[in-house]
Amino acid sequence: MYLLQLVKRRSFLILLLLTVSWGGLIARLWWLQLGFVHHYSARDIDLIKNAVRQRQQTIILDSGRGEIRDRNGYPFTGGKTLTLVLFPLARTGMTDASATRKLASLIDWPQAKLDEAIRKVKDPLALRDERGKLVALSTRQAEEINKLQLPGVLALPVVERYRPDVTAKQVIGFVGQNPELVKQLYPSELRSGKMSLDSGIGASGLERSFERFLQQIEPVRLSYFLDGTGRPLRGLDMRFKQSENSYYPLSLTTTLDAKIQAKLEQAADRAGLKQGSIVVLDAGSGDVVAMVSRPVYDQSKVDIAAGDWQNRAVKQLPPGSVFKIVVAAAALEEGVAAPTEKFQCTGEYGKYGFSCWNKEGHGSITMEEAFAQSCNIAFAEIAKRLGGAKIEEYARRLGLTVPVGWTTNELYQLKNFRQIDAEESGTVFAPGAPREDEGALIQTAIGQRDVRLTPLQAANLMVTILRGGQPGQVRLVRDITYQNGVTFHHFSAQPLAGQGISRITAWKLRRFLEQVVQRGTGKSLGSLPWKTAGKSGTAQVTVQGQQRDHQWFVGYAPVDKPRYAIAVVAENQPTRGAHQGTAVFSSVVETLASLRE
């Protein structure tokens, strides 16, 4: 009897254990299949989406991000290209040799080359040539290809964000992944599923500064759904998905001229500009017409550590004798020196190891001649009369100690909005540096020691002088527009905080700048198709233990009716040899003049 009860008890316990186990398994299956399929585990994994992805092959035909265009509507980003799209399905589906021969003939490729490209397809892709460019098709070619009805092969319009041949790469910037920033900027979009942590957002340039306006809406996708053997699922074989919104995404109309930009990039490369920048501003409005930065980089494969993606035109550098423009402006405005006043230059200052670049000295020389010949000794004497505080004051009044790009305190709830990404300020004295120490002061007078300017600031200084001494902000973007072309927001011209200088002083400075080219350090520019004015500068720097030069030339052309203000910097040049900054400036003026003919 006892033994029978013991058997019954054990049987009950075993059945109970099995029931609990089966119950737990059923609950677990319910939890996986129905309860928490969209938020599985601490990682918040969506099981349904991942299951679909396992049998889905998708290609993005258009990211849905807003375009960035030049002043005439040319797209720096985007632009549709009819091209050949291949899915991995093509590897197993294209068994008809005559069909592949016809396809190769339609795109003008050798059949063996096309067969190899198809064999290598692992993920959906748009076909590219050896240079990395999309294989462009005509409308007739596209229609003929689609008539073939080859599995996994389609001719479709693809919008490529960054084309290999596009210009102004550093100005435009690039899109990258930053999950933490996505969490910070787009919490509601993450909750709604419109964005994910791996969504691309602007990482530099206009892509970054206008991120909230360019933000992508739903991308245009083409998807194939396949079974376990790689065959299309009946009824789900192909899906095309795009947004029907006629207003968004928003796009930017910049002040850049794509034609001028392209020509100046070519001119920079021909002139051998390996590291440096070119800035061209409209002499009247102060808007950016072109902005070149070297070395170039690939926007689709960015090497962050290399730093080539940074826009060198907005990075501060020692300007050398370009800063004598500020010293001259202060001296003329304050009346401490006159253009005809004479100074004595023997080539040596007599202490601090300070000397003139002309070791034999300039002899007796007027202030105007000293500017044209870039005499260090004369400007050291003028700086002593002014004092460091006055020199710093005039640098500030001319807009050289603050970023000069267009800015506002608030733009559609964006605080301290700036059009130009990562633009740096200029400096005259480092914090705590002595402003009246004679040794520091005379080095400051020639744009050395702590003095720093950006090429953009230097070009804007020319515009300030041309408009009579009043500085203004520099526009890079003119309008934000809806998808249908209607203006969403227009950026009006704005003054730059700063008192500026008088019209008389500005007029005198123009004469000084003209004398540089007529009889000074810029005489090599005298034979250009446009009469030019400007100022050269050479700043000595130490790079990896070696003495190198930053070679500047800033100016404007043509002199009689100025159209463009220009700043050129050739960085890290040898201390001996030709002045590459002047040579590149010459190429820029020649290019601009040829485009106006």
Sequential DSSP letters for 388-412: HHHHHHHHHHTT-SS--B-EEEEET
Q: Could you tell me where the beta strands, DSSP code E, fall in 435-563?
A: 477-481, 487-490, 533-543, 546-557
The set of residues, in sequence order, having a beta carbon less than 8 Å from that of 569 and lying 6+ positions away, is 276, 277, 312, 317, 455, 550, 551, 552, 581
Task: Using alpha carbons, select from 62, 82, 284, 289 the residue that is nearest to residue 167.
Answer: 289
Q: What is the distance between the alpha carbons of residues 76 and 551, in angstroms, rounded to a whole number? A: 30
Whether residue 38 contacts residue 48, with contact meaning beta carbons closer than 8 Å, is answered with yes
Q: Are 323 and 453 in contact (CB under 8 A)?
A: yes
The residue whose two tokens read 């005509």 is 138
**Do 106 and 127 meet the contact criterion of CB atoms below 8 Å apart?**
no
Quick one: tokens of 315?
């990075």
Which amino acid is residue 485, in one-letter code? G
Residue 394: partners with Cβ closer than 8 Å, 6 or more residues away: 326, 327, 329, 330, 333, 501
Produce one character per residue of 351-376: b if its CB has 16 or more CB atoms within 10 Å, e if not. Answer: eeebbbebeebbeebbbbbbbbbbbb
| Separation of alpha carbons 129 and 145, rounded Å | 18
Supply 582's token pair: 């002047």
3-state secondary structure of 561: coil
**Closest C-alpha among 375, 365, 369 to residue 342:** 365
The number of beta carbons lying within 10 Å of the beta carbon of residue 569 is 33
Q: Which amino acid is at 572?
A: N
What letter does residue 364 receive in the DSSP assignment?
E
Task: Tell me if residue 463 falls in helix, strand or coil.
Answer: helix
Q: Is 238 exposed, middle or buried (0-12, 13-18, 19+ CB in 10 A)?
A: middle
Query: 364 catalytic, yes or no?
Result: no
Catalytic residue among 63, 277, 321, 586: 321
Q: Is residue 533 helix, strand or coil?
A: strand
Produce one character per residue of 406-417: b if its CB has 16 or more CB atoms within 10 Å, e if not.
bbeeebeeeeeb
Nearest-angstrom CA–CA distance, 258 and 239: 37
Intra-chain end-to-end CA distance of the chain, in Å: 118
The helix/strand count (H/E) of the chain reads as 20, 21
What is the set of active-site residues? 321
